[in-house]
Amino acid sequence: MKERCVFCEIVADRAPAYRVLEDEHAVAFLTIAPATPGHTLVVPRDHARDLWDLPEHGFAEVARLVHRVSALLRTALAPDGMSVTHATGAAAGQEVFHFHAHVVPRWHGDDARVMWNCRRAAPEELREVLERVSAARGR
pLDDT in tens, 78-124: 999 999 999 999 999 999 999 999 999 999 999 888 767 788 999 99
- What are the φ and ψ backbone dihedral angles of 28, each rounded to 5 degrees? -120, 130
Domains located in the chain, CATH noted: 6-114 (3.30.428.10)
| pLDDT recorded at residue 82 | 97
Nearest to 70 by CA among 43, 104, 116: 104
Q: Which of 67, 100, 102, 108 is catalytic?
A: 100
Residue 1 banded pLDDT, cuts 50, 70, 90: very low
Rounded to whole angstroms, the Cα distance separating 77 from 86 reads 22
| pLDDT recorded at residue 47 | 97
Please compute the mean of the pLDDT values over residues 1-29 and round it to a whole number. 93
* pLDDT greater than 70 at residue 23: yes
pTM for the structure as a whole: 0.91
Q: Could you say which DSSP state residue 92 is in?
A: G
Q: Which residues contact 106 (CB under 8 A, 6 or more apart)?
A: 36, 79, 80, 81, 82, 83, 112
* Residue 39 bears catalytic tag: no
Q: Which H/E stretch holds residue 82? A: strand 81-85
* pLDDT greater than 90 at residue 139: no
